[in-house]
Chain A
Amino acid sequence: MTAETNRPLLRAEGVSKFYGRHVGCRDVSFELHPGEVLGIVGESGSGKTTLLNCLSAQLEPTAGHVLYDTRADGLTDVYRMSEAARRLLMRSDWGLVRQNPRDGLRMGVSAGANVGERLMAVGARHYGNIRSEATDWLSRVEIDADRVDDPPATFSGGMQQRVQLARNLVTRPRLVFMDEPTGGLDVSVQARLLDLLRGLVNDLGLSAVVVTHDLAVTRLLAHRLMVMKGGAVVETGLTDQVLDDPQHPYSQLLVSSILQP
């Protein structure tokens, strides 16, 4: 690792979230460096999404801190920022790709408007420029230029997910949170989306936190892996290391549960 990547982009310090007596996630700490992709795996109910919501400033943790390296002030606790600064961060420097594209898109307006929304939110006021930028980003996620004026409701699931990606990447975020980005897509569409994601992550030098229950996704995308069970992290390490030589019994179970075709 070179000197300038030594400063983490995102740091979690003992993040815990309790829902009353139930544990969402417990005492999670890690650092994410620029250009790094972290995969979080685990079964349903293991606290993956809770952790992602805590990290992406959507759910305040019961204990612990989430620090982000902002462009202006350096490493800052995202829950100590003013709400205005936090929301600006979320729509400019961060991206959030949801499992269900219907949660992350405006289904009633055109794909171009969906992609252009973030530009308008940070002050773009030139229709021609917004539209050409949107068209450009849609082509980068392999959506034809002649579909730019169609609403996402007329798109297939895979296309909607790609529009969601373009919508998030248009402001050139440094950090993208993804919650099951390939959930609900069939395998060939999944493969194309993963291919695209991997290319974009490399080209743009994005950092990402990817939550998934699909180990194949992490194998392709993630550099490092965190395995969660019952709200706690049971194993961390390089992706290949965790997948090929799992140490914790639960990780071993998880890896051995994959069907070998």
Chain B
Amino acid sequence: MKASASQLVGGLLVVLLIGSAVLSAWADERETKPEEPPNDQTHADTLARGAEIYAKQCAECHGDKGEGVEAAYEKPLGGQRDVAWLTRRIERTMPEGEAELCVGEDAAAVAAYLYEQFYSPEARRANQPQRTLQRLTAEQHRQSLADLIASFRDSKPIGDERGLKARYYAGRKMNGKPLAEQVDHVIDFTFTPEHPLHEQFDKHGHSVRWTGSLLAHETGEYEIVLRTDHAVRLWFNDGRARGSRAHNEITDNEPAFIDGWLQSAEQEEFRRRIFLVAGQAFPLLLEFSSHSQGVGNEKDQDKQRHAGTSTVALRWVPPGGVEQVIPQRHLSPRRLPAVFAASAPFPPDDASMGFISGAGVSDAWLAATTQAAIQAADYVIAHLDELAGTRPKAEDRRERVIQFCRQFVERAYRRPISDTEAKRAVTRHFADDVKLDSAVKRVVLAALISPNFLYPAVDTQANNGFAIASRLSLAMWDGLPDEPLRQAAANDELDNPDKLAAHARRMMDDPRARAKLMRFFHHWLELERAEYADKDARLFPEFDEHLLADLRISLDLFLEHTVFSERSDYRELLLADYLYVNDRLAAVYGLDPGEQTDKGFVRVAVPNDQRSGVITHPYLLTAFAYHNDTSPIHRGVFLTRNIIGRQLNPPPNAIAFDDAEFDPSLTMREKVTEMTRASACMACPATTNPRGFSLEHYDSLGRWRATDKDKPIDAESDFAGDDGQTLRLKGARDVAEFAAGSSAAHRGFVRQLFQHAAQRDPSALGPGTLDQLSARFESSDYHIRELYIQIALSAATHGLQSDEAESSSASTTEQTP
């Protein structure tokens, strides 16, 4: 993905790698609804007859199960054709050299037999060895560690208010009654004589203390940046930040995360990096003073520089973003408990199926797992008294710590443990000659690198409430069950569908669910490709990293608005006729932001025929484009696969788009048409190119244009609809409206969201799963959050009705400890 993106940016010869797919020989695999298996006697007879004939006439060359035979016909039987085609083929050519042996009903019987047994995609999927066990993905791992440690702290909801709580003080001292208490939206101040509190400020300077939490929206490395021409310091995500009192005489307070209290040599900027986990809130305490520091007394103050104008700003560089003032929506005036964020570098998870899953283990994964376990163990030891609810000199400290350790293991395993297990996992580490800290370290390490933690499903074939709770919390927010869910599991309440659903709805409101859902949209829209977008500076002087960052915010605001609004309507994603813009975007995209004066974003209506939801969002269009031109092929493949919901097979050969090969006066549409006509693979371009041409009205920055190379844009094309009828699509809005009303598109969306939530294909839960979810999606007026809840519920209860899981747990060779 990254390689292809950088090639897009740089070279003359651009190889069209689109995801793992390449341009030629794509088969347009129509959405094939699973056929109801015909159950009548005739069909059974046909299959039996087919089986008999296959064994006699075919198996010698093709293998007993169509797997192929060495030195005969080695290729396994499998493909996209239907039974009728297979029948014709068998009649005409099989058995080889003796085609007359198998014709008519015999041929039809063999075709039906092999189609159902091993040829069709469904049969192949069913015949694959089913590996159901998955390890935690990297995101799940980090979330689970954060949740595990948080479970020993008092959690409270983050609330809806945004900004930081501010207390303004007249002079240097920040105690006593403040001049003012308020919520400041962002921290980006220049204190001038015009400030409303100026009259009350000490002439030598005032002070402000801000408290609250930082809401991380993505998992990754952030850089926190403080700017001031006076004194500033920030405590972040630990004791003082969350308001606990320092209790130490020598170290009279905890060191600040960023300490710019001492102003020296006019250094006005202080930066520090930190790894944060998405959907978690990190407490902070920010102090600012325009007053001098040190020991000088009042009479000396006149010698000091007068406070004058002073500035302070709390900024950040979010993962993959540019430096900016931390926006209001990422700040909360509530101070929450500190969060443990494991920064161990996990290798990328398996994404070969088109979605992230926990398939496979590797050296790098084991190393990261172990490193994260060590980080967590060190963190637990550093906060042991707080987490275990004890004190350094408490008489029962040892007992309390042992009790804590047992709970820790239970929460890591997502279920209660037996006394035998507790002995193995906890008490045996507390030998007399082992120091308490060392014993705790061993317990935590062992718990966090044990299969019971790393493979959430390893214990859950029992299908009790704890297994349901575990699957639900993984699906909803990639993390561990919280206290209410654990409690419900312990009380056997979760096999009640209503109670379970109530938990899912409750969990939907948590920032972790928001974060996971937003991760889906980023994945669905392939936004990672945008992070590497670059443009030809001569053609697009407006383009820079700030424009790109603003576009991303604009898209995120749109997604959040749509997904987390009351209607949460999937169709609005496709059909919205507005954009979120700030001043910069308004200027570049020729929109009027109205009264907009600061750097904030506002929603601006755009002409209905010029924009239609996400598919015309300029961030996407910028990402799906060359550095100097549009890319109908990338755009077409994206629309076909992700939006319209048709599957494309990866082609065996790559061909390259070389701009220099074409007459420079040709439009992009003409070039692409020329190129794909020459290639041997018409099936796919026939579908994808017209979709890409639908977006030809948007240049490489996603700006609306009427012409290309001084010729009017031709965005019209014919399109084979779901029923095979030909539709004339005039442009982007027609495509969006088609997708909004297409059941195949809906199914595609459901499938992709399911894969993201549950790390597996819906078919893994039985053939009817996708149909049921799609039907509910439709009946809920395409409510995205409701769909997400339903997906999580079906993933959570999976196994309850599955015979297969029952039988595999029946054959369990349970070892008594």
**B is a partner of A:** no
- Give chain B's interface residues, CB within 8 Å of chain A: none
